[in-house]
Amino acid sequence: MVIALVYQVGCRRASALCYRLHSTYVRRMRYLLELKEDDDACRKAYNSGTFFLFYNLSPFLQQKDKMFLVPKINTAEIKRILEKFRQSEEKIEDSVLIGCSNECTPYFALDLGSLERAAIESELNGSFTELRKAFFQLEEEDASFISSAQALLRWHNNNQYCGKSGQPTKKNMAGNKRICDSSGIIYYPQVSPVIITLVSDGSQCLLIRHATFPKGMYSALSGFCDIGETIEETVRREVAEEVGLEVESLWYSASQHWPLPDSSLMIACHTLVHPQRNKIRINKQELEAAKWFSCEEVVMALGRKPKPSKEKDDNSFWLPPKQAIAHHLIQEWVKKQVAGPM
């Protein structure tokens, strides 16, 4: 009786916690939706917001040891900076909404590329740094916000004019769309879908190299989705095109927004080919190399630091860092190999 009572109390507490977490998420999403749809509400939210700064798409960061920190700057500080550099407070309306905290403090991104770079860096004690150079030294949450912000700011930079009328477009307050008053067309940010798949023949996995990869790095096979294709069709086509193999089966793993070089939605899958039909016929126009690796070789590579090896041995390859979804795919495959058949 006592055990049953304790169990019921525990379940109620767990349910209450789940509800609070769920309701917090719903509240945040509803709040963000309101800001996206109501320009007046978004304009008002600028006054209580937190800002991530950019300079021509390079985020403002502060370095601490080997990591980069992302300063969150309040509205009063933004207004002070704008006033010091003789800019109107209306510059704040160039911001784009990128999220909010659990307490519904709105997060905005603002590009100050029209101001003097060195003076801003000195004023705020940091530097505008290329995301490519800093991405792997950011905390996961910061990397997510900065990546989303850069992608949205870039989209606005590239969509200043209507493709039909040729007239200027203007963004709404939140920056989740641009409108052409002449044609009436509403433009929404778009993302390029890319499949990334780890090919296996059951006991080995196939890893590839592009000529643009850092020396010694191998990764999973990837490619852009063509218009009209399903994810499954893209996976089968890319595997056939790049390594000359025919896919027997595939299954979805996870997805990730990837900011480099120009923002993509990475859709990760595992792919299985027949072990007796696993001869690689590499497409040299697409790839520099493609090889089968054993589980033992992959485990050793996972233990290496993500930097080019100085060893001449071809087996001393390394893999993408843990922030990349390719790393996630490879780890999943290793765990399945170690666990063995169910």
Pairing of strands 192-200, 264-272: parallel
Specify whether the CB–CB gap between 127 and 61 falls below 8 A. yes
Round to whole Å and give the CA distance between 121 and 103. 29
Neighbours of 34 (CB within 10 A): 13
Provide the β-strand partners of residue 208.
219, 290
pLDDT at res. 145: 94
Residue type, 325: I
Residue 110, H or E segment? strand 106-111
Q: What is the dihedral of CA 278, 279, 285, 288, to 10 degrees?
A: 90
pLDDT at res. 7: 44
Residue type, 136: F
Place of tokens 């060893």: 311
Tens of each residue's pLDDT in the chain, 342 residues:
544 444 454 555 555 445 444 579 999 999 999 999 999 999 999 999 999 999 999 999 998 888 899 999 999 999 999 999 999 999 999 999 999 999 999 999 999 999 999 999 999 999 999 998 888 889 988 999 999 999 999 999 999 999 999 999 999 999 999 999 999 999 999 889 999 999 999 999 999 999 999 889 999 999 999 999 999 999 999 999 999 999 999 999 999 999 877 789 999 999 999 999 999 999 999 999 999 999 999 999 998 876 544 545 545 789 999 889 999 999 999 999 988 764
pLDDT at res. 66: 82
Q: Write down the H helix ranges in 174-324.
A: 231-243, 295-302
- For the chain, the C-alpha Rg in angstroms (whole number) is 24
Model's pTM, two decimal places?
A: 0.85
